[in-house]
């Protein structure tokens, strides 16, 4: 233990206590919190059948969620976020971990007139220090984006999401021609 750390304890009137190796029971509160976070992350991974490789993102998302919900250890109706900042957390932006989503592409990333206007991916959490979503695109690229459309519940919702993208007369005409060509065959 450094002298600076000892001095800090002296200034605050605290003592430095350590636990016996291989005895996690001595640190019950922290061990319980860790178990809760691991269980939350595991549930999030299984709920959407997400690859186990995303366990670290699931843990970070579990911590993010845990800080925005109430706990019996806190005053009634208070969240850790509220006690830390003095403001109630806004949870309207929260999404289901592992959900299929589409990142709406900026004009500069669209390939020509007929290029894709959105890229499909999987929601994998909330980046630190940003009001964005972290998405792993189907090509494996990880992006932070604000303009994201989510399909959180089931496959039929995917069709509804696709309808929510802005249509142009050209794309409507192409779809009508494709439907006519399919009907004739």
Residues 49 and 86 in one domain: yes
More confidently predicted of 75 and 142: 142
Which residue among 28, 58, 92 closes a domain? 92
Element (H, E) at 131: none
Query: How many domains, the chain?
Result: 2
Tokens of 94: 């929260």
More confidently predicted of 78 and 17: 78
pLDDT tens, position by position, 56-98 = 999 999 999 998 888 888 888 888 889 889 998 888 899 999 9
For residue 113, what pLDDT is reported? 76
Q: Which of 84, 64, 65 is nearest to 74 (CA)?
A: 84
Residues 130 and 108 in one domain: yes
Is residue 158 one of the residues assigned to a domain?
yes
Angle between helices 55-66 and 28-47 (to 10 degrees): 120
Cβ atoms of 99 and 154 closer than 8 Å: no
Strand-pairing partners, residue 72, are none
Task: Write down the residue that tokens 């399919």 correspond to.
Answer: 182
Residues 80 and 123 in one domain: no
Is residue 6 one of the residues assigned to a domain?
no
Q: Which domain holds residue 150?
A: 95-165
Which residue among 54, 72, 92 closes a domain? 92
CATH code at position 127: 2.30.30
pLDDT of residue 154 exceeding 50, the answer is yes
CA distance 48 to 153: 9
* Whole-structure pTM value: 0.68
Which residue among 92, 108, 136 closes a domain? 92
């Amino acid at each position: 233990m450094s002298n600076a750390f000892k001095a800090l304890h002296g200034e605050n009137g605290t003592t430095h206590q350590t636990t016996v190796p291989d005895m996690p029971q001595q640190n019950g509160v922290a061990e319980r919190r860790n178990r809760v976070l691991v269980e939350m992350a595991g549930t999030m991974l299984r709920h959407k059948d997400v690859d186990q490789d995303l366990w670290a993102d699931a843990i970070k998302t579990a911590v993010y969620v845990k800080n925005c919900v109430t706990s019996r250890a806190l005053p009634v109706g208070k969240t850790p976020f509220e006690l830390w900042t003095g403001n109630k957390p806004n949870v309207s932006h929260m999404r289901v971990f592992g959900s299929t989503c589409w990142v709406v592409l900026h004009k500069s990333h669209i390939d020509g007139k007929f290029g894709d206007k959105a890229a499909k991916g999987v929601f994998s959490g909330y980046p630190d220090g940003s009001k964005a979503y972290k998405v792993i695109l189907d090509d494996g690229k990880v992006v932070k984006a604000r303009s994201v459309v989510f399909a959180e519940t089931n496959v039929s919702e995917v069709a509804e999401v696709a309808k929510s993208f802005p249509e142009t007369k050209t794309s409507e005409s192409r779809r009508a021609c494709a439907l006519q060509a399919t009907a004739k065959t």
